[in-house]
Each structure stands twice: as C-alpha cells, then as structure tokens.
C-alpha cells in the first residue's frame, strides 16, 4: 500500500493531514488523520476518517463557513487549480483586519505555487 500526502491544513483549534492511499486495486481512497484542541480543557482529541475520494473530504472541510481562514501547509498539485477556483469565492472581508486577510492569502498562495514534492510525507 502506498500512502501519499495530499492535503495538510491546521488552525489553533484543529488540523490534519489527508493521505491518498493506493492499494493497487481499484481507485485510490483517502485517509484523514486529524485532531481538535479544546483550550478550555487543554485537551487534544485525535481522529481517523476515511473518504472514498477528495470530493467527499472537501465537502466535509468546507462545512466550516470560513474554511479559507484555516492555515494550509500543503496542497497536492492535482488539486491546486480546483482550490484556486474555490478561493475566488472566499469572502475575505468577514475578518475586518486587512493584515490578517493578507497573511492568509499569502499562505494559500505559497502552498498553491510551491514545488509538488515540497512535503512528500511517508512512503
């Protein structure tokens, strides 16, 4: 089984790494190792979620109405054009601080233009 990092994102309260899994039989599936942090309880919870495809993962991620204010660490080159299109619909003005907006936009630009093998993950 081959596991390839496909998408990595975080925030102060949550984050995770999505891996594409190729087992040599049929289409690839996706495995999301993610966690949440409750600062009031100083508690971390770790989860493992399987998705049949990237679209299913994306639907779940974008349930957060301000998903674009999460901190992306890596986006697989196959999804970069799709993510760029999704970001065109983002309402950056929901956060009034222009420096905050610019900071997040720069981070998205960085991960969407960086080398494809920048963060390959375990083989």
Instruction: Render pLDDT for 14-33 as a digit per residue (tens, 0 to 9).
Output: 899 999 999 888 899 999 99
68 found inside a domain: yes
**What band does 45 get if pLDDT is binned at 50, 70 and 90?**
very high
119 found inside a domain: no
d(CA 34, CA 16): 4
120 found inside a domain: no
Number of domains within the chain: 1
Which DSSP state fits 100? H
Domain span at residue 99? 2-113
- Please, how many CA atoms are within 13 Å of residue 100, restricted to the half-sphere of its CB? 9
What is the value of pTM for the model shown? 0.87
d(CA 117, CA 123): 12
121 found inside a domain: no
62 found inside a domain: yes
Tokens of 4: 């390839």
The overall average pLDDT reported for the chain is 90
66 found inside a domain: yes
Tokens of 96: 């009034």
41 found inside a domain: yes
**What band does 12 get if pLDDT is binned at 50, 70 and 90?**
confident
15 found inside a domain: yes
């Amino acid at each position: 089984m081959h596991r390839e990092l496909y998408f990595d994102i975080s925030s102060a309260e949550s984050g995770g790494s999505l891996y594409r899994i190729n087992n040599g039989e049929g289409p690839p599936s996706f495995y999301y190792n993610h966690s949440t942090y409750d600062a009031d309880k100083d508690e971390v919870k770790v989860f493992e979620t399987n998705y049949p495809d990237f679209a299913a993962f994306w639907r779940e991620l974008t349930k957060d109405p301000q998903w674009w204010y999460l901190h992306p660490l890596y986006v697989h080159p196959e999804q970069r054009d799709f993510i760029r299109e999704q970001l065109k619909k983002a309402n950056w003005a929901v956060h009034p601080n222009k420096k905050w907006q610019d900071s997040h936009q720069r981070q998205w630009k960085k991960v969407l233009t960086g080398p494809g093998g920048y963060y390959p993950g375990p083989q």
